[in-house]
Amino acid sequence: MTSVHAGEQLDHYRIEELVARSGMASIFRATDLRTGRQVAIKIPHPDVEADPVLYDRFKREAEIGESLNHPGVMKVLPDGGKSSIYMPMEWVNGRLLRQIVREQRLLPPERAVQIAIAICDALDYIHRNGVVHRDLKPENIMVDDQDNVKLIDFGIAGQAGARRLTFGKLSQVMGTADYISPEQVKGKRGDGRSDIYALGVMLYEMLTGKTPFTGSNPFLVMNDRLLNNPIPPRELNSAISPQLQEVIYRAIEREPHNRYSTANEFAWDLEHLDEVGVADRPELREWKKRRTPWLNRILFYVAMALIPILVFGLLLYIARHG
């Protein structure tokens, strides 16, 4: 598929307008001429079609979308009569969570919690069906006027039992720097707890107007996540309760085994904040201490330099006292 324009027909779909474009595909609003319903059509860019790995990823995304059936997940519509490569999907009314956060900067805690609970419900469903999103971020969450949500864009999702696909581009392997989990930064595939981490970051952002880890480029952002603690949310927004702050910390624990093990556990705490115990966390006291990769590197080289000296000293001691 080289190009599609408004007014053209693609099989039984009439293309209405381009609504979004990503690194791998373009999404159009279209009309299904058989039913008269609006749909979304996702069409891969030509270079995706030409790349076997990216093409396999696109097909897997379609397969995952067709297998899932939940009100919080965008549905891919099965259509076996396509004349070319594209993905028909349900049309979702609403706005991206990114637009909402950008416009409002700080969401009221009650609204942020309700949106997070809705996302937890969708995550619990996909995780129980063997799917991990792996690129959860505000750009991939649709929110309607009643704050119902839809998870969208399963382009780098993982599926239980599926073979692992390898990519040449960092962003396609790992997700988005601001939301990627520490284990993914380290090159691991990640599981449902990686999505829980990303949701914890989004909840932090909805409540404070900023993401917990920063840097002048994606690599420094990811490194900050491995080395430092974020500014406590209550330092940025006093409307956040100690219990809600504790829930955020539980979701963004650096080690996966310390996080919520399921999205359902995450949702339960959000729904019962008055029952959440608040831990005496060192992160609340030590967040101003900042470590950098340069300091780690210097300490590494100092340690390496000291090894020969220590070995020489040990040999000298043995020689004198042997």
CATH code of the domain covering residue 65: 3.30.200.20
Which has the closest alpha carbon to 97: 233, 211, 202? Answer: 202
Find the CATH number of the domain harbouring 269: 1.10.510.10
Out of 90, 110, 145, pick the residue that ends a domain.
Answer: 90
CB contact at 8 A, 175 and 134: yes
Please indicate, yes or no, if residue 1 is contained in any of the structural domains.
no
Query: 131 with 170, same domain?
Result: yes
Note whether 47 and 196 are same-domain residues: no
Query: What CA–CA distance (Å, rounded) separates 245 from 238?
Result: 10
Domain assignment of residue 2, yes or no: no
| Residue where a domain terminates, one of 90, 107, 122 | 90
| Domain edge (last residue) among 52, 69, 90 | 90
pLDDT of residue 95: 94
Q: What is the token pair recorded at 38?
A: 């609006």
pLDDT beneath 70, residues of the chain: 1-2, 160-175, 293-322
Same domain for 207 and 241? yes
CA-to-CA separations, 226 to 8, 193, 199, 214, 281, in angstroms, rounded: 49, 16, 17, 11, 17
| Amino acid letter, 224 | D
Residues tagged active-site: 135
What is the number of structural domains in the chain?
3
* Cα–Cα distance measured from residue 179 to residue 194, given in angstroms and rounded to the nearest whole number: 9
Q: Are residues 211 and 76 in the same domain?
A: no
Question: Cα dist. 134→87, 177, 280 in Å?
Answer: 20, 12, 31
SS3 label, residue 27: strand
Specify whether the CB–CB gap between 180 and 212 falls below 8 A: no
What was the pLDDT predicted at 308?
Answer: 65
Strands (E) in 45-137, as ranges, are 87-90, 95-96, 131-132
Residue 209 tokens read as 């107007």
Determine the Cα–Cα distance for residues 135 and 172; give it in Å rounded to an integer: 9
Same domain, 166 and 77: no
Q: 215 and 280, same structural domain? A: yes
**C-alpha 72 chain-centroid distance:** 16
SS3 category, 7: coil
Question: Is 102 a domain residue?
Answer: yes
Instruction: Answer whether residue 4 is part of any domain.
Output: no
pLDDT number for residue 67:
93
Range of the domain at 314: 295-322
Give domain status of residue 49, yes or no: yes
Rounded distance between C-alpha atoms, residue 21 and residue 3, angstroms? 13
Q: 179 with 318, same domain?
A: no
Cβ distance 85 to 44 under 8 Å? yes
| Angle between helix 263-271 and helix 109-128 axes, rounded to 10 deg | 150
The answer to whether residues 54 and 73 belong to one domain is yes
Residue 24's pLDDT is 80
With respect to residue 206, please indicate whether it lies within any of the assigned structural domains: yes
* Same domain (yes/no): 143, 35: no
Residues 120-170: tens digit of each pLDDT:
999 999 999 999 999 999 999 999 999 999 999 888 888 765 544 444 344
C-alpha–C-alpha distance, residues 30 and 37, integer Å: 8
Q: What is the dihedral of CA 52, 58, 61, 67, to 10 degrees?
A: -90
Same structural domain, 202 and 75:
no
- Answer yes or no: is 161 within a domain: yes
Query: Are both 229 and 273 inside the same structural domain?
Result: yes
The answer on 318 and 177 residing in a single domain is no
Q: State how far the Cα of 7 lies from the Cα of 182, in Å rounded to an integer.
A: 45
Whether 22 is covered by a domain: the verdict is: yes
